[in-house]
Structure 1
Amino acid sequence: MEIRHFRYFLAVARQRNFTRAAEQLGIAPPTLSRQIQDMETSLGTRLFIRQQREVSLTEAGAALLSEAEATVRQFEFAQRNAQRAGRGEIGHIELGYVASALYCGLLQRQVRGFSQAFADVNVNLREWAMAALPGAVADGRCDIGYIRSPMTLPDGVEAVRLDSEGFVLALAHDSWLLGLKAITCECLENETFILPEQISGTLHVAAQGGYAPRLGAQPGGLVAVVALVSLGQGVAVVPASMVGHVSLPGVVYRTIQGNEASSWLSLIYRRFEKAPAVARYIQQVKQSVAAAPSRPGA
């Protein structure tokens, strides 16, 4: 027997009449009658007591009724779920991010917007070291990732450029630099630079000041960078979004006058992504970028 046999059986059981059931199903009454007979032959028992104008269930038919209803419901549920999965409306996404995606609020906005639109997609979020995240996306340990660019990506991994922002200087509260009216790139020539994972800002400041930077530790995430600054180990060039979001005792943030360096967040993903839920997320981010008004420096 096939699922259609259960549908035919249920139509006759509900209508109590072959003609009305056939009309409901959109088939000819003789075809319906033959299908029910095939069902009864397969089961080896009668399902209906046939009268001139109406039919009624036998005991075997009554026993089959609730099971047939459950079978059809489960079949339809499986169909709907498969269709929804194919459209990316259900599924699972492994999402990696670097901390600065949180400080500017971009990660929260995009994940919340996606989850509101596709509540049945499970998005599992995990913070990654930025150097490891592109490789994790490339080899499938992560489906998508938020990194701070510019950054070299593995083959097969592409990026959507998102929000841009400038850099600020993190320095100890007792630094001599705070006595200056303005801090320029040239003022930092003799300072030790604590390096964040994304070092482009540090290198740009040194290049603009005309010197090779004196490099200190590279402890990992931005909080660890600022922690070393608070301990008097040096200064750090960090994303401007840290101001007001990461505050440690003994650390102040200052503008670097004349510095026009910027970095930007990117969503990275596999070029030929096939998982519908992941592809749906990427599509939504691209649409939000296309719809957003252009900003200076973005």
Structure 2
Amino acid sequence: MEIRHFRYFLAVARQRNFTRAAEQLDIAPPTLSRQIQDMEAALGTRLFLRGQREVSLTEAGAALLPEAEATVRQFEFAQRNAQRAGRGEVGHIELGYVASAVYSGVLQRQVKAFSREFAEVSLTVRESPMAVLPGLIAEGRFDIGYVRSPMSLPEGVDAVRLNAEGFVLAVADDAWLCRLKRIGAEHLQNETFILPEQISGTLQVAAQGGYAPKLGPQPGGLVAVIAAVSLGQGVAVVPESVVGHVHLPNVLYRPIHDCEASSWLSLIHRRFEKAPAVARYIERVKREFPRDEP
């Protein structure tokens, strides 16, 4: 038997008349009658008692009725679910991010907007070291990730450029630099730079000042970097989005005079993404940020 046999059976059971059931199914009454006979032959039992005007269920037909309803209902659910998965309306996404994506608010805004539109797509969102996140996406352990660019990416991984922002200087509040009315790149020549995961800001500031930076430790995420500053281990060039979000004792944030250094957040993803739900997320971000640059 096929699913159509259960549909035909249910139509006759509900209408209690072959002609009305055939009209509902948009088939000829003799065709419907033959299909029911084939079903009865396959089961080895009568399903209907046939009268002149109406039919009624036999005991076997009454036993089959709730099972047939459940079978058709489950089939239709499976069919709809497969179609929705193919359209990216259901599924699961593994998302990795670096801390500055949270400080900027971009991660929260985009995840919430996507979840409102595709409520049945589940997301697992985890912070990840930026140095390894692109490789994890290439390997399939994450589907998408938010990183701070510019950075090199593995073969097969692309980036959608998001919002750009400048840098500020994180400095201990008892440092001599705090006595200056304004801090320029040239004032940092003899300072030790605590390095965040994205070091482009540090290198750009040093290049602006015309010197090679004295590089200190690279402790990890931005909170760890600013903690090192609070311990007096050096200064740090950090994204301006941390101001107002990361407050640690003994640390001040100061602008760097005439600093032209900037970076931007990127959504990184596999170039030929096949999972419909993941592709939906990427397409939505691209619509918000139509320029696509690594």
Q: What TM-score, normalized to structure 2?
A: 0.98
SS of 1:280's partner is: helix
Cα distance in structure 2, aligned partners of 1:127 and 1:215:
25
Inter-partner Cα distance in structure 1 for 2:55 and 2:182: 94
For 1:288 and 1:260, the matched residues in 2 are separated by 25
Q: CA deviation at 1:288?
A: 1.4
Partner of 1:112: 112
Letter in 2 for 1:239: P
What 5-or-longer segments of structure 1 have no aligned partner?
292-298
Specify the alignment match of 1:246 in structure 2: 246
Deviations 1:211-266 (CA, angstroms, capped at 9, x unpaired): 00001000010000000000000000000000000010000000000111100000
Partner of 1:7: 7
User: Residue in 2 aligned with 1:296?
Assistant: none
Per the alignment, residue 76 of structure 1 pairs with 76
Q: How does 1:195-234 map to 2 (within 5 A)?
A: 195-234=195-234
Measure, in 1, the Cα distance between the counterparts of 2:285 and 2:248. 33
Q: Give the number of equivalent residue pairs.
A: 291
CA distance in 1 between counterparts of 2:185 and 2:30 reads 90
- Displacement of 1:269: 0.3
**Counterpart amino acid of residue 201 in structure 2:** G
Mapped to 1, the partners of 2:238 and 2:74 lie a distance apart of 55
Structure 1 match to 2:47: 47
Letter in 2 for 1:67: E
Paired letter, 2:219: P
- Residue 171 of structure 2 corresponds to which residue in structure 1? 171
How many Å apart are 1:181 and its aligned residue? 1.3
Please state how far the C-alpha of 1:36 moved relative to its aligned partner: 0.1
AA of the residue aligned to 2:23: E
The DSSP-based 3-state class of the residue aligned with 1:69 is helix
Counting only pairs closer than 5 Å after superposition, residues 283-298 of structure 1 correspond to structure 2 as 283-290=283-290
Residue 277 of structure 1 aligns with which residue?
277
Per the alignment, residue 184 of structure 2 pairs with 184
- Amino acid paired to 2:74: Q
- Look up the equivalent residue of 2:35 and give its one-letter code: Q
Q: Distance in 2 between matches of 1:207 and 1:65?
A: 79
TM-score by length of structure 1 reads 0.97
**Deviations 1:9-57 (CA, angstroms, capped at 9, x unpaired):** 0000000000000000010000000000000000000000111111111
Does residue 18 of the first structure (1) align with residue 15 of the second (2)? no
Gaps of 5+ in 2: none
Tell me the amino acid that sits aligned with residue 27 of structure 1: I
Q: How does 1:26-175 map to 2 (within 5 A)?
A: 26-175=26-175
C-alpha distance in structure 2 between counterparts of 1:259 and 1:147, whole Å: 22
Counterpart code for 2:101: A
Q: Distance in 2 between matches of 1:258 and 1:42?
A: 85
Residue by residue over 1:166-224, the C-alpha shift from the partner in whole angstroms, topping out at 9 and shown as x without a partner, is 00000000010111111000000000000000000000000110100001000010000
State the alpha-carbon separation in 1 of the partners of residues 214 and 58 from structure 2. 91
Give the Cα–Cα distance (whole angstroms) in 2 for the partners of residues 67 and 198 of structure 1: 60
- Cα distance in 2 for partners of 1:80, 1:288 equals 29
Paired amino acid for 2:198: Q
Aligned-residue identity in percent: 78
Partner of 1:294: none
Aligned-pair CA distance for 1:290: 3.2
SS of equivalent to 2:256: coil
